[in-house]
Amino acid sequence: MASTACFAIVSKNDIPIYEAEVGSAPKKEDLAYQHQFILHAALDVVQDLAWSTNAMFLKSVDRFNDLVVSVYVTAGHIL
């Protein structure tokens, strides 16, 4: 089964610093936009969770179809 993942680093101001898609699925332009949409939709949930817990790894903070958003928050709150 072909799969793909999106890796992103987002600054404190919700600005993507780095984005990469990894995996074996064929690249589609629509998929890149879908990943950006899911990322920005999950940021509000992530920001609320980041300030309410001491955990640095937030597993499964949001879902969209079969995609899961997991987050690692640095000490400086870069997501």
**Domain that residue 36 falls in:** 4-72
- Which tokens is 43 given? 């940021």
Residue 38 lies in a domain: yes
The residues facing 45 across adjacent strands are none
Residue 78 lies in a domain: no
Residue 47 lies in a domain: yes
The phi and psi torsions of 38 (rounded to 5 degrees) equal -65, -40
pTM for the model stands at: 0.69
- Give the pLDDT confidence of 14-59 residue by residue, as tens digits: 888 888 888 766 666 666 678 788 888 888 888 888 788 888 888 8
Tally the domains of the chain: 1
